Structure 1
Amino acid sequence: MTRLTFDIIGRDETVDVDIQRLYNAGYAGRDQEQVRLHIDELAALGVPAPSTTPSLYPVSPYLARQTGLVDAQHAQTSGEAEWGVVIAGPRPEDVLLTAACDHTDRALEVHGVAWSKNAGPDVLGRRAWRLVDLGDRVDRLRLRAWVGAGRVLIQDGRVGDLLSPSSWLDVLRERGEHEPGVALISGTIPMIEGVDQFADRWEVELLDEATGETSRVVYDVARMPEPIG
């Protein structure tokens, strides 16, 4: 279990949440035809195709982090621009929305996507909206990521490019898991071709252009020492 603390955007309050269960969505684009094309591209790189889309991967809850540093075992790891929903309590207004970055082991991904999701942390922002405060603006929130010290843009899209937070909350309800302490990370948007994802710094921003308010994740990636043996 991990305790996360969120400063609530637009309200003078802070919310603590003990993460009991954590899920990563995958292949979660709203245009599932484009998702199938992406699956074919990944299959050519050796990444096994999912048995169904969208997919949902249980992740160890201790991997939910709010940190500025991610330790990586090798050079083939990278983040993904995502949003996260965190259920902080029993009321509808207790569902929080924040920026998130799923740091994934790409070398392990070719052996199993679920394994790769458990090999790195899900880094969540320290600022979050109460989802009810966003209303129908949520789809229009801009989701971007930059890599490296030079802040090279690698992803740029909208929450509406992905399956909605409400649709995933419905999935949790159907599974009997819409409960306090459950967090779900959204899956990601396409990366810009030609940008090296294997960077030593990742930044993800979720921007409400109507108000200028943002939730951000920023962290450095540090290589661990070489193993002995």
Structure 2
Amino acid sequence: MSTLHFTLPDGSTETVEVTRLLNAGYAGREQDEVQAHIAELAELGVPGPTTTPALYPVSPYLASQADEVAVQHERTSGEAEWALVITDSGVLLTVACDHTDRALEVHGVAWSKNASPDILGTRAWWLDDVRDRLDDITLRGYVGEGDARQLIQDSTLGALLTPDYWLDVLAERDLATPGTVLISGTVAMTPGVDQFADVWSVEMHDPATGDTLEAAYRVVPMPAPIG
């Protein structure tokens, strides 16, 4: 398990022991577009899901707020997402980046999700406080080399299935319990932008309040193996 700490807008904090981590996939609200994306991935050798949206269990210790992600090779990248965090006090919403092994993804999406951590922000909002304006909240992903930064994902939470949709799914499966973290699935990447960068960052911005949640990390190659 891992322990996550979140600061709320009023300055209070919430600490969560992660007991269950789940990654949603193919979770766009427009499922016709999702099916087109699945067809594109199939051409790259990525196996399609048996149903959409999909939900992949991930080892709970992979929920992290680290500022570095160690990788075994150069074909790994992040995905801009939101995360639900169920606590004893209620449900938190924060920003997240699902770092994924793209080389392993062609052998199994569930396997690739367990090869790298899910990076979550250190600040969060109560879901109840933003529920009525979720579709207007922006979600952006950036990649970088050194100090440079380039926009690679730019959408709103309105493009994805809602937190309440996933809370219903969790409740049906008796998974809506404190310690459960669910990562939303992602939005489209901008064609032509290299996702295999050494820095990934994600921002979730609420236009109504001007508040922005952020998560960022460096991608660090591991030493070459011996043997």
Question: TM-score, length-normalised on structure 1?
Answer: 0.97
The equivalent of 1:195 in structure 2 is 193
Q: Deviations over 1:174-213 (max 9, x none)?
A: 0011000000000000000000000000010000011110
Matched, 1:147 2:143: yes
Mapped to 1, the partners of 2:93 and 2:131 lie a distance apart of 12
| Residues 104-136 of structure 1 deviation map (CA, whole Å, 9 limit, x = unaligned) | 000000000000000000000000000001131
Q: Which runs of 5+ in 2 are unaligned?
A: none
Task: Tell me the residue number matched to 1:116.
Answer: 112
Q: Which residue of 1 aligns with 2:2?
A: 2
Report the secondary structure of 2:61's partner residue. helix
Which of 178, 197, 200 pairs up with 2:176? Answer: 178
In 1: Cα distance, 2:131 partner to 2:202 partner: 22
Residue 45 (1) aligns with residue 24 (2): no
What letter is aligned with 1:155?
Q
1:84-112 CA-to-partner distances (Å, cap 9, x unmatched) read: 000011x5xx1000000000000000000
2:168 corresponds to which letter in structure 1? Answer: D
Is 1:131 matched up with 2:127? yes
- Sequence identity of aligned pairs in percent? 61
- What aligned pairs does 1:211-226 form with structure 2 within 5 A after superposition? 211-226=209-224
How far apart, in 2, do the equivalents of 1:16 and 1:125 lie? Answer: 13
Q: What residue is the counterpart of 2:102 in the other structure? A: 106
Deviations 1:14-50 (A, max 9, x none): 0000000000000000000000000000000000010
Alignment partners' CA distance in 2, 1:214 and 1:88: 21
Bigger drift between 130-139 and 106-115 goes to 130-139
Taking only aligned residues, the RMSD between alpha carbons, in angstroms, comes to 0.7
Q: SS where residue 132 of structure 2 aligns? A: helix
Counterpart Cα distance in 1 of 2:112 and 2:39: 19
Q: Which sections of structure 1, spanning at least 5 residues, go unmatched?
A: none
Greater shift in the superposed pair: 131-140 or 38-47 = 131-140
**How far apart are the structure 1 equivalents of 2:84 and 2:24?**
11
Distance 2:198 2:36 in 1: 29
Please list the CA deviations of residues 37-72 of structure 1 after superposition, one character each: whole Å capped at 9, or x if unmatched.
000000000000100000000000000000110001
Specify the code of the residue in structure 2 equivalent to 1:7: T
User: How far is 1:138 from its partner?
Assistant: 1.3
Shift in Å, 1:79? 0.2
- 2:156 is matched with 158
Secondary structure of 1:199's match?
Answer: coil
- TM-score (normalizing by structure 2): 0.98
Q: What is the CA–CA distance in structure 1 between the aligned matches of 2:59 and 2:92, rounded to whole Å?
A: 20
